[in-house]
A and B are shown apart, each in its own frame.
Chain A
Amino acid sequence: MRVLSCIKQVAVLGEEVEIDPGGRDVDPDYLERSLNEWDACALEEALRIVEAVGDRAENEVVAVTAGDEESEEALRRCLAMGADRAKRVELDPGSSGPSDPLTVAKALARAIEGESADLVLCGVQSSDSVQAATGTMLAELLGLARTAVVTKVSLDPAAGKAMAHRELEGGLIDVVEVDLPALLTIQTGINEPRYATLRAIKQANLKEIEVLAGPSESAGAFRVRRMFVPDKGASAELLGSDPAEVAKRVSEIITARLS
């Protein structure tokens, strides 16, 4: 069995923000990068599925990303967690703004075509863009059956089927039977991603990451026209910075509102 796990090294904005001179993205100096939380859960699920099958010599997890060289850090973390191989498709949006999901899906498809995957797992969304679209677009490009926002999965490879729980608004669960091979987008809470041991991290740093050329230029799903820091609008009235004073004010407000 081969499970492909798509991951993204997301960008996290701290307290300060400055828009890039091009006006279409945040100045990269203000962004920290890390493995997307949803993708860590998807990778963990991929590892658990393959480990349950048994023999790791014939069953593997392959971590895939579309990004610049720096995003190999996130792939190294996947390798340290237990992925057998890692592939990166070159994709650098430069200063044209955050990537659109179609461009990313086309890039990921290049790394997955030819892998004969039994299952492809993606995170539901990335924490920096929250588009919840790349996985479902990728399923379409690969011609795979799919289910989005999955909180539980069990495989029956002999029957060529999987059972998935789709988590709807309000917490209602839709139980879905999906034909294999399939692509599932994984919701947080499905598992608790494992930590990598120091030894595994060292070994991961020695592994080779396969790098593929990105797709040729084509129309994406959107063009970022401008990015801006929104007006605060009617922002909160600040209660001060002294804990005792804030506690007193909070208590007064609560008493007034509940009476």
Chain B
Amino acid sequence: MSGVLVVAEHLQGKLRDVTRELVTAARELGGPVSVVVIAREPRPLAEGANLEGVDEVLAVSAGRDEFENDVYQAVLEGIVAEKSPEAVLAGFTVSSMGYAPALAAKLGTSFASDVFALAREGEALVATRAFYGSKVHAELELPTKPGTPAVVLLRPTVWAPAEGAGQAVITETTVDVGPSRARHLEFVEAPVSDVDITTADFLLSIGRGIGERENVERFARLAEKMGATLSVSRPLVDAGWMPSARQVGQSGKTVKPKVYLALGISGAVQHLAGMKSSGTIIAVNTDPEAAIFGVAQYGAVLDVFELAGELEKLY
């Protein structure tokens, strides 16, 4: 094959958006694009993965309906041995974190994750990713050769999703992978809440910069006065100060309000993924290098309590 192998991601019978983004990235790299769909009944999902620019869809019947990391690893080891792709692309997602690094370690291949730019250079791929709180970027060289492809996990929402139906051949196979050592039992939905931050026009969002639990109440009151809905970044949920229903980001909610006012949020990648499409982003933080300023239209390097004091006078 000597092309690019895309690992489709699906959940509860639906392809996840990242799959279409991976197809776009694979097409940009050039060479034949194959998409592998792994599920007990992969056919319906494989049809959805037959997108424009895809040359072959591998519908592999293996394991259960839902993701299990041993199943994915075993199937992919087989495909890599048989097809010798130069690169294996998957999303930088919770499920990929469970199998892709193991696949790379087992096969002795190069590996990079949370990659947001990828290019071919001779016999290697060059992946660009961030380090040190996204304040610096680095180019990583990933050698590839047939049988030992580069395994690359791409950051979601960077590449445009592939659109349009493709004309790929769908190849159906069945693989007996043996018992999983980590088995899916059931899904538990996040508890329902009376607040829906995804429908608010105006979010006042607070992060670690508010310092202490006692300060949450002050910003909750300020939000109410300003006519905003209060949302938070992950550390406040981790600390148990706020329920997860109010969390913006990859493990929380994706929001697109008209106005997103971020107070004391530095802008971890996972947070930015959940709010960067907001209409107008205003960020206030004491660190002038905070990543949140990279996505904001307006910013101020300021103590959030001083700003809160002034806003309290205005509203």
User: Does A235 lie within 8 Å of B102, measured CB to CB?
Assistant: no
Chain B 284-302 near chain A by CB (<8 Å), digits 1 or 0: 1001110001101111111
Contact of A236 with B299 at beta-carbon distance under 8 Å, contacts A132-B113, A229-B135, A243-B307 already known: yes
Q: How far is the CB of B220 from chain A (nearest CB, A)?
A: 17
**A192 vs B236: C-alpha distance in the bound complex, in angstroms?**
12
User: Does B94 lie within 8 Å of A223, measured CB to CB?
Assistant: no
**A219 vs B124: C-alpha distance in the bound complex, in angstroms?**
14
B residues neighboring A (CB under 8 Å): 11, 66-67, 69-70, 92-95, 97-102, 104-106, 108-114, 126-127, 130-133, 135-142, 181-190, 201-202, 226-227, 234-235, 237-240, 244, 247, 250-254, 258-259, 261, 269, 279-284, 287-289, 293-294, 296-303, 306-307, 309-311, 313-315
**A102 vs B251: C-alpha distance in the bound complex, in angstroms?**
26
Q: Dominant SS at the B interface?
A: mixed
A80, CB-defined interface residue at 8 Å: no
Which residues of the partner chain B approach A241 to less than 8 Å between Cβ atoms? 300-302
**A115 vs B132: C-alpha distance in the bound complex, in angstroms?**
33
User: Does B94 lie within 8 Å of A17, measured CB to CB?
Assistant: no
**A243 vs B113: C-alpha distance in the bound complex, in angstroms?**
40
Which residues of the partner chain B approach A131 to less than 8 Å between Cβ atoms? 112-114
User: Does A145 lie within 8 Å of B112, measured CB to CB?
Assistant: no
Name the contact of A133 in the complex, choosing from B11, B113, B185, B189 (C-beta under 8 A): B113
User: Does A140 lie within 8 Å of B106, measured CB to CB?
Assistant: yes
User: Does B98 lie within 8 Å of A168, measured CB to CB?
Assistant: no
User: Does B240 lie within 8 Å of A192, measured CB to CB?
Assistant: yes
Q: How far is the CB of B106 from chain A (nearest CB, A)?
A: 5
- A residues 147-166 with Cβ under 8 Å of B? 147-149, 163-166
User: Does B111 lie within 8 Å of A100, measured CB to CB?
Assistant: yes
A–B pairs, 11, beta carbons within 8 Å: A17-B136, A19-B136, A169-B250, A177-B183, A228-B137, A237-B298, A243-B306, A246-B307, A248-B314, A254-B259, A257-B258
**A17 vs B299: C-alpha distance in the bound complex, in angstroms?**
20
Which residues of the partner chain A approach B133 to less than 8 Å between Cβ atoms? 12-13, 127-128
Name the contact of B187 in the complex, choosing from A100, A124, A172 (C-beta under 8 A): A172
**A187 vs B247: C-alpha distance in the bound complex, in angstroms?**
15
Which residues of the partner chain A approach B109 to less than 8 Å between Cβ atoms? 221
Contact of A175 with B138 at beta-carbon distance under 8 Å, contacts A146-B69, A236-B299, A243-B307 already known: no
A-B contact count (CB 8 A): 275
Q: How far is the CB of A28 from chain B (nearest CB, A)?
A: 12
User: Does A166 lie within 8 Å of B94, measured CB to CB?
Assistant: yes
Which residues of the partner chain B approach A219 to less than 8 Å between Cβ atoms? 108
Contact of A13 with B135 at beta-carbon distance under 8 Å, contacts A148-B98, A171-B247, A177-B183 already known: yes
Name the contact of B251 in the complex, choosing from A167, A222, A227 (C-beta under 8 A): A167
**A44 vs B110: C-alpha distance in the bound complex, in angstroms?**
32
Q: How far is the CB of B136 from chain A (nearest CB, A)?
A: 5
* Selected interface stretch from A46-54, A70-78, A178-186, A200-208: A178-186
User: Does A169 lie within 8 Å of B94, measured CB to CB?
Assistant: yes
User: Does A236 lie within 8 Å of B283, measured CB to CB?
Assistant: yes
Name the contact of A137 in the complex, choosing from B105, B127, B181, B280 (C-beta under 8 A): B105
A21, CB-defined interface residue at 8 Å: no
- A residues 236-259 with Cβ under 8 Å of B? 236-241, 243-244, 246-251, 253-254, 257-258
A130, CB-defined interface residue at 8 Å: yes
**A242 vs B101: C-alpha distance in the bound complex, in angstroms?**
48
Contact of A12 with B302 at beta-carbon distance under 8 Å, contacts A176-B185, A250-B311 already known: no
Which residues of the partner chain B approach A97 to less than 8 Å between Cβ atoms? 138
Which residues of the partner chain A approach B287 to less than 8 Å between Cβ atoms? 15
Name the contact of A172 in the complex, choosing from B189, B226, B302 (C-beta under 8 A): B189
Q: Please give me the residue from chain B that is nearest to A102 by CB atom.
A: B105
A199, CB-defined interface residue at 8 Å: no
Which residues of the partner chain A approach B252 to less than 8 Å between Cβ atoms? 170-171
Which residues of the partner chain B approach A13 to less than 8 Å between Cβ atoms? 132-133, 135-136
**A34 vs B185: C-alpha distance in the bound complex, in angstroms?**
37
